[in-house]
Structure 1
Amino acid sequence: MTIFRSLFLTAILLFIFCIGNAQVNTSKAIAYCAVQADKTLKSIPVNGINIPRNIAQGKKKWNYIGYKDWCSGFWPGILWYAYEGTQEQKFKTAADKFSRELTPLSMMKAFDHDLGFQIFNSFGNGYRLTKNPGYKKIILAAADTLATLFNPKVGTILSWPRPVPNMEWPQHNTIIDNMINLEMLFWASKNGGSKRLYDIAVSHAKTTMKNHFRPDYTSYHAVVYDKQTGKKIKAVTHQGYADNSMWARGQSWAIYGYTVCYRETKDPVFLDFAEKVTDVYLKDLPADLVPYWDFNDPAIPNAPRDASAAGVVASALLELSTLSRNKTKAKTYRKKAEQMLTSLSSAQYQSREKNSAFLLHSTGHKPNGSEIDASIIYADYYYIEALLRLKKLQNGVSIYSTSLSTN
């Protein structure tokens, strides 16, 4: 063995040891996020398109989107989390402003399934922290709008009510991302909305559970159904490496979504499934627990990472660790989440002085050549959410509390 190879292996082992034993300083990491969010606030254009979405690799400036973009809810959600973490009024004021820009989404015909990402991440967090009745009204209206995309013959919500390549339009398509939007339906059904919203969410989750997963519990990206009979036509993974590969962010949506389903229903079927889709994800992670964009990309270890998937999973695991009935699994999930956040909070993944995002190294749609190894707004959203959840657990507080401490 050469000296170089020996030193390299020693460095890898040391890194694994450090990640395995380090505990992320949540107060420091949350404060870092607040500093970065403030930098972004100060750089946002006064007029026109003004919602941050991504920063390309090696660049410093955000690319901005309008309220109809599926990512529009993450920035106001981040501001609400920054307010929760710091209690600084400037974040509350900005969170309210950017949330209100999304109001028209609750008043128009649904043009895709992403209303949960858009409205519940913004107004949902706002209502959680302020109990503003105006926010509640908008959430309930958006939930009713999302429900119009439900097809009872299929049992799921239509993701894209328009022609999309490879989706056999006008047949019924459903993507795994849609699991995240169910939380808004569950919430609405328990806060003044129709019980039908709860039933739609359960139907969607169970139908997806039946048709969206391979025997090893890895997820396809999209399933196409016959809109009249509900019969499954095909399953594809067009944002992953191949139809039979495990696209990291798609699997993260499944982990997060089924954890929420168990929380809201207490149906053990959902807990069992959440643990199964989690365990297959955890099995083949790299040493720092931040996945490659697709677990089956043959270019690994030279393939891009996806910090966004790590953030989603870290947040989900913290919740799952409080719900699991298996003490060994619960302990493992908590430990893995902390290790993921330790990696994400390192110089390797934090943006720091490179730009005003929180994180580097996320991958949006690699087959389409977009947002590769970039800073992406939803990575930042789930990162700060996970940090707040971990801080609460460290302080002996429920992750559902609006306070970071018992004081």
Structure 2
Amino acid sequence: MNFNFINLQPYSNPQYFIWLLIALIPMIIGLYNGKRFKTYEAIFSLVFLFLIFDASHWQQGVNLILYLVFEFLLTFAYERYRTKKNSPNKTWVFCLAVILAILPLTAVKILTVMPAGTVPFVVGFLGISYITFKNVQVIMEIRDGAIKKVEPGTYARFLLFFPTISSGPIDRYRRFKKDFDKAPTRDQYITDLQYAVRYLFQGFLYKFILGWLFGTYWLPKISQAALIAGNAAGGLKLSWWVLAYMYCYTMYLFFDFAGYSLFAVSISYFMGIHTPMNFNKPFISQNIKDFWNRWHMTLSFWFRDYIYMRFTFFAMKKKLIKNRIRLSQVSYLLLFLIMGFWHGLTWYYITYGLYQCIAIIINDYWLRFKRKHKKTIPSNKFTKWFAIFITFQVICFGMLIFSGFLSQLWFGWH
């Protein structure tokens, strides 16, 4: 069968879903009858992964295989070290394992910003970030003792779980294994199917209608108008266009990314796997910390659990910073700088990370001030909606920085 007429990048067009849903039918029938066809699920995932990395993307597929071999050897070598009788729990071995686990992703981030033609081969592959986060999580939980044993087959399916490989959400190994090890009851699976269909149609609304409206229809027109106003030294006129771009880009980013995430969750539910949601009404956040508990939640919680909290506990144990407020601020700085660098080695991603760090530190000062003066500071519906309004402006300005459009305007003028 010739698949070349279809764009087989995940969730890229409506036609893609026809083939995907057809392939899901045996799994749906099995789960409805209380049976999980693990062999078919593995074949299903491998086939769709092969189709992603077919033709012009074959080099990415090779990179994926090499990456998996490396990460498997690393993870199971560290598991053997930790579970070996009388084996010392040396910190340097754990740190080395984590550094080696993130080394391929770090190399990809550096090599992709090299001048064109400098790197004579394809680097990375679709989904390398999310697979790396999963792998690092497992190594850290092996060290903590939360994961006693990693099963190779389950681990491979966890890393290569097809619905989430391209855009997340980032699942946790223990949660995934719990779902994967058993089939749901018929009543449970009927509920899963209801959610799966709901999330599928919601994803279509978000990505193919609202995402297209903001990103494909409006955003290029606003961008062009802003560049024209900038070249004409439009002053106030330029400001209005930049403001329009800021709001439009924020809406586009949300609906496009949330749409992808909903597709991933939907297909997971069809497969009887409860992949966690990635977004929870982020634009009703009353402060920036609340926003990060609602936006790209699986990534936010991953950074919180495996960077912020671990660095904080380490610094407290070693008494690096005695003042708890200063310690939290340094932890935020580390967290958001790493998040900025992860997005890309460009000034606007790094600036975006610093901006979010400053915003959350200011927010903490404000929350402490509110607690201290709670009797004199009013709290009602107006203050709630005013907080949502202010937070939304802070969010949107951050997205404007993240978009790189300010850099585009600057070079457009010069």
Pick the structure with greater CA Rg. Answer: 2
Q: Say yes or no: TM over 0.5.
A: no
More helix by share: 2
User: Could you state the TM-score of these two structures normalised by the residue count of structure 1?
Assistant: 0.27
User: Could you state the TM-score of these two structures normalised by the residue count of structure 2?
Assistant: 0.26
